Amino acid sequence: MEGGTTNGLYSLRFKRGAFENLNPIRPYYIEYYSPFFNPACDVFPMHLHAMFMGCQPFSTIKLKRLPIIAYTDEIQKKVGDKSPSDVYAETVRDIYCKTFNLQKVDISLLDKVKLNNYVYRSGKLDMDKTD
């Protein structure tokens, strides 16, 4: 849902797609550990990232999951001027952050990609482009 990685302390905004139909959601949290290379590190181009991952003698991955969270009347009451899917996504994110002790940051994966493109590729910050 988040669609990206963080340093394990923060949660980016969830993508809307999983919430559009208001279907029940089961959030997962993947925790990686390696003393050699952090798989959540996204400062390398993809081919180098894959090479570093493949060269590690071992990694530990823990998959944690929450119970299914359904769109309820209680969530519906919070909608107001916002879209139901946005309120649903934010409600699930609140539960996710509380359970896994994460802080919410108000940026999306697209914002993160744009920043990486600026820092590591073009040197120009053009927030209107997604390439």
Read off the pTM. 0.70
In a domain, 117, yes or no: yes
Domain tally for the chain? Answer: 1
Q: What's the DSSP call for residue 36?
A: S
At residue 29, the 3 state secondary structure works out as strand
* pLDDT tens sequence across 45-98: 778 878 888 888 888 888 988 899 999 999 999 998 899 999 999 999 899 889
Q: Is residue 59 part of a domain?
A: no
Number of C-beta neighbours around residue 72 at 10 A: 11
What pLDDT does 127 receive?
52
Residue 73 belongs to domain spanning: 10-27+66-122
CA-wise closest residue to 40 among 79, 72, 11: 11
Asked if 11 contacts 44 with a C-beta cutoff of 8 angstroms, the reply is no
Examine residue 108 and state whether it is found in any structural domain, yes or no: yes
Residue 41 lies in a domain: no
